[in-house]
Structure 1
Amino acid sequence: MARLLRVGDVHIGYGKVEAVRGVTLDVADNEIVTIIGANGAGKTTLLNAIMGVLPLRGAVSFAGVDLARLEIEDRVAAGLSLVPEGRELFAAMNVEDNLRLGAFRLGTASATQSLERVYTLFPRLKERRRQLTGTLSGGEQQMLAMGRALMGAPKLLMLDEPSLGLAPIIVADIFRTIGELRASGVSVLLVEQNAQAALQVADRAYVMELGEFVLEGPAKDVAGNARVAESYLGF
């Protein structure tokens, strides 16, 4: 299986404080990989650094290209996309206008095709396409944030806490959609505090504590680990 994202011995700091230390991971084509861990473990910091929001020391490549040479816009153009925890939507714009912002680098025909794919994936967004984004529910806003990221036809979608603050029935919808993304050829790197849901949908998993990976492997094996079950699954 071809490796899409490679992260090697990465260190990320805030001033003199090192928030991530010696992290190595990879994501393959058509694979869902999750990073689970407590709040403050360094998960969001790692995603932001891969996207280019934060500087890092170490090696990061995407589709064989060294990301150190690419600005954020170029990383998006290469097929890497991040849905941040805060979603960062434009509340005063309607749903469809927010979506079309995600296809700014595509031609009209390609943008229209992307829009139809997103509406197929998220029928509720099509129903709400003329509605102001600020009036959507939390679950609908999460769907919109994911849809906007998908408008650019990414090869890898990075999701930061997609279930945060959502009702269980909406969480189930979100994770079902994540599984559908893999089937459509989009790889996913998922940061999630809801370890049980994340491990059910993922192929492989990393457990992060205090800026370091303390366990990794197939998601089923990680879920069966006694320490993980006690600390993150409530068993």
Structure 2
Amino acid sequence: MNDLMTVSGLSVNYGRVEAVREVSLDVRAGEIATVIGANGAGKTTLLASIMGLLPSRGTVTFEGRDLATVAAEDRVAMGISLVPEQRDLFGTMSVEENLELGAFRRGRNEIAERLEGVFTLFPRLKERRRQEAGTLSGGERQMLAMGRALMARPRLLMLDEPSLGLAPLIVRDILRTVADLRAGGVSILLVEQNARAALQIADRAYVMELGAITMQGPAAELAEDPRIAEIYLGIGRKPA
């Protein structure tokens, strides 16, 4: 598979604190790549810098194009979408209005077509299309955030902690949808604290600790690694 996006030597500072240190990774066309790590490892900062929302050092290329001078909104137009950890929905606007914001540059006919595509993926959103986003459940808000990002028809979808705060059954449904998107041709960069769930659906994985990538490889192999199993999967620890 060809690399869709390549990140090389990416570093981000908050004042004197280096939150991301010389991170290099790639996402290939037609795959799910995941970055796992504990809270505070720098995963969210990494995604924000890739999206162009934070100043950084290093190089990000998408389909061979250097994104150094490309604004965040233009990265969306190129085919990169980010679903942030906090979902960032407009609570007093309806589900449909939130979705339409994801394709605001498009004409009405195209927006209507894309809405139907999202409603096919998330039938529950269609049932609640007139409902205010602020009244949705946690799982429904995550569906809406993903649906809004998909309205831009991304080739690369970046997901920041999509399972955060959700019940296990809802997490299963969300991650099944992620796998379906990959099958439909959308490449995924999945950032997760839930290492077990992420490694089950990903093709390749990166482990991030204290702002740096410390391990990488096929997701199935990392899931079997004793260190990953003990630290992130809770397997192999001796009773206290």
Three-state SS of the structure 2 residue aligned to 1:68 is: coil
Q: Deviations over 1:172-195 (max 9, x none)?
A: 000000000001111110000000
- Which residue type is aligned with residue 210 of structure 1? L
Q: Which range moved further: 160-169 or 108-117?
A: 108-117
Q: Deviations over 1:76-98 (max 9, x none)?
A: 00000100000000000110010
Residue 142 of structure 1 and its aligned partner are, at CA, apart by 0.3
Note if contact 1:106-1:152 (Cα within 8 Å) is conserved in structure 2: no
- Which residue type is aligned with residue 33 of structure 1? A
Distance 1:94 1:11 in 2: 38
Say yes or no: does 1:40 pair with 2:40: yes
Distance 1:111 1:6 in 2: 30
Residue 33 of structure 1 and its aligned partner are, at CA, apart by 0.4
- Sequence identity, in percent? 66
Say yes or no: does 1:162 pair with 2:150: no
Q: Deviations over 1:139-177 (max 9, x none)?
A: 000000000000010010000000000011100000000
Distance 1:108 1:67 in 2: 30
Report the counterpart of residue 14 of structure 1 in structure 2. 14
Report the counterpart of residue 55 of structure 2 in structure 1. 55
- Which residue type is aligned with residue 5 of structure 2? L
Report the counterpart of residue 88 of structure 1 in structure 2. 88
Residue 69 of structure 1 and its aligned partner are, at CA, apart by 1.2
Report the counterpart of residue 113 of structure 2 in structure 1. 113
Note if contact 1:82-1:149 (Cα within 8 Å) is conserved in structure 2: yes
Structure 1: stretches of 5+ with no match in the other structure: none
Q: Which range moved further: 15-24 or 32-41?
A: 15-24
* Equivalent residues in 2 for 1:1-235, closer than 5 Å: 1-235=1-235
Note if contact 1:30-1:182 (Cα within 8 Å) is conserved in structure 2: yes
Distance 1:224 1:7 in 2: 26
Q: Deviations over 1:102-158 (max 9, x none)?
A: 011122222122111101110100011011111100000000000000001001000
Q: Structure 2 length as normaliser, TM-score?
A: 0.97
Residue 2 of structure 1 and its aligned partner are, at CA, apart by 1.5
Distance 1:198 1:230 in 2: 16
Distance 2:219 2:54 in 1: 28
- Which residue type is aligned with residue 231 of structure 2? S
Note if contact 1:206-1:213 (Cα within 8 Å) is conserved in structure 2: yes
Q: Structure 1 length as normaliser, TM-score?
A: 0.99
Task: Tell me the C-alpha RMSD between the 2 structures.
Answer: 0.7
Three-state SS of the structure 2 residue aligned to 1:93 is: coil
- Which residue type is aligned with residue 137 of structure 2? S
Q: Which range moved further: 109-118 or 39-48?
A: 109-118
Distance 1:29 1:104 in 2: 26
- Which residue type is aligned with residue 50 of structure 1? I
